[in-house]
């Protein structure tokens, strides 16, 4: 019999919603797979989850890259990078298993093999000791930006879906991603490199945000949702599949998710998470995402 999830109920002080609070160290056996409700699966959400599964499952490349950049750091730093990668890969397995339940024609391993053949940036294929962000501090800022985005994204999925198992998985992943953000932030603060100027921190964060439009998610969406047998008839088009990949994200976010994301990014660049810059940034990003959702 599948184990019951380890969690307790809590009410958020910000929105009054009752949420499951999940703890670190869960496994796929802790997920209530028996509660899956096929009637509650939304096709648009399913397409997005398939793509997210491939991106999360690709963690080992990022582990190798980060361990190269932090090669001379304390053992505990390298250990938690390994742990981070293991948890990210588990996210991919959990999302992939859910997608296979929702669509038996989808096979995580097959889709991932196609994704790996077509997407592997140079710094991941042959990682060196230099960060592509120019410094370890820059690398940690970029990683915090990513974890801010994923934590808010899976929180949005959790709040948007009516399918019980996906709601649970998204809640577990969102909690993990927030913990990962805290680990990267603590590592940033522990670096003995000179602090970066404020403008440089903004530049690193903005650069990493722009990279969300690169081939990774678009190609993952393509490999996850276009069968191999249809590749000739439906060749990869980055612009098209980038737009399709963005569609779900743009429509499921709510204002509170965006504000939390901006607050987390503001903190890592040294701004007041509750100050004017974060408030303006949240308002601007929310308007931008509403327009992009309408366009998608």
CATH code: domain of residue 289: 1.10.620.20
Count of domains for the chain: 1
Q: Nearest 5 degrees, angle CA 85-CA 64-CA 183?
A: 45
Q: How far is CA 203 from CA 13, 135, 180, 207, 210, in A?
A: 33, 13, 22, 6, 10
**Beta strand 7-11 pairing with 18-22:** antiparallel
3-state helix vs strand vs coil in the chain, percent to 5: 70, 5, 25
In tens digits, the chain (296 residues) has pLDDT values of 333 333 433 333 333 333 565 777 799 999 999 999 999 999 999 999 999 999 999 998 899 999 999 998 889 999 999 999 999 999 999 999 999 999 999 999 999 999 999 987 767 766 777 888 989 999 999 999 999 999 999 999 999 999 999 999 999 999 999 999 999 999 999 999 999 999 999 999 988 887 765 688 999 999 999 999 999 999 999 989 988 888 877 888 899 999 999 999 999 999 999 999 999 988 988 888 887 777 76
Tell me the three state secondary structure of residue 104.
Answer: coil
**CA–CA gap between residue 115 and residue 223 (Å, rounded):** 6
pLDDT confidence of residue 10: 37
Residue 135: left if φ>0, alpha if ψ -120 to 50, beta else—which one?
Answer: beta
**CA–CA gap between residue 261 and residue 207 (Å, rounded):** 16
* Inter-residue contact 234 to 226 (CB < 8 Å): yes
Looking up tokens 């678009």 gives 218
Q: Is residue 29 part of a domain?
A: no
Q: Is residue 281 part of a domain?
A: yes
Q: Is residue 11 part of a domain?
A: no
Which residues, including other chains, have CB under 8 Å from residue 231's CB and lie 6 or more apart? none
**CA–CA gap between residue 94 and residue 89 (Å, rounded):** 9
pLDDT confidence of residue 44: 93
Q: Is residue 36 part of a domain?
A: no
* Inter-residue contact 118 to 217 (CB < 8 Å): no
Q: Is residue 288 part of a domain?
A: yes
Q: Is residue 1 part of a domain?
A: no
Tell me the three state secondary structure of residue 296.
Answer: coil
Domain that holds residue 148: 44-295
Q: Is residue 218 part of a domain?
A: yes
Q: Which helix (H) or strand (E) holds 8?
A: strand 7-11
Which residues, including other chains, have CB under 8 Å from residue 246's CB and lie 6 or more apart? 213, 217, 292, 296
75: number of CA atoms within 13 Å, CB side?
0
Q: Is residue 25 part of a domain?
A: no
pTM above 0.75, yes or no: yes
pLDDT confidence of residue 13: 33
């Amino acid at each position: 019999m599948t184990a019951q999830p380890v969690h307790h109920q809590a009410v958020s002080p910000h929105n009054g919603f009752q949420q499951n609070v999940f703890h670190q160290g869960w496994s796929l056996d802790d997920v209530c797979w028996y509660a899956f409700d096929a009637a509650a699966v939304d096709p648009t959400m399913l397409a997005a989850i398939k793509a997210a599964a491939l991106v999360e499952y690709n963690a080992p490349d990022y582990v190798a890259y980060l361990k190269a950049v932090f090669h001379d750091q304390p053992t505990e730093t390298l250990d938690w990078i390994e742990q981070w990668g293991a948890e990210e890969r588990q996210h991919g397995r959990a999302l992939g298993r859910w997608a296979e339940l929702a669509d038996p024609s989808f096979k995580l391993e097959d889709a991932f093999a196609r994704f790996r053949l077509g997407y592997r940036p140079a710094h991941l294929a042959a990682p060196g000791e230099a960060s592509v962000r120019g410094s370890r501090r820059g690398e940690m800022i970029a990683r915090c930006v990513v974890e801010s985005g994923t934590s808010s994204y899976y929180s949005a999925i959790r709040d948007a879906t009516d399918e019980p198992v996906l709601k649970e998985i998204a809640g577990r992943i969102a909690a993990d991603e927030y913990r990962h953000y805290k680990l990267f932030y603590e590592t940033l603060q522990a670096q003995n490199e000179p602090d970066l100027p404020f403008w440089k921190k903004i530049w690193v964060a903005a650069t990493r945000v722009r990279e969300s439009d690169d081939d990774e998610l678009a190609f993952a969406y393509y490999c996850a949702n276009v069968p191999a047998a249809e590749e000739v008839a439906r060749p990869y088009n980055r612009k098209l599949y980038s737009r399709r990949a963005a569609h779900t994200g743009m429509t499921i976010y709510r204002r509170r998710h965006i504000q939390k994301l901006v607050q987390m990014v503001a903190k890592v660049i040294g701004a007041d998470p509750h100050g004017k810059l974060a408030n303006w940034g949240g308002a601007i990003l929310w308007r931008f995402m509403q327009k992009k959702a309408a366009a998608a």
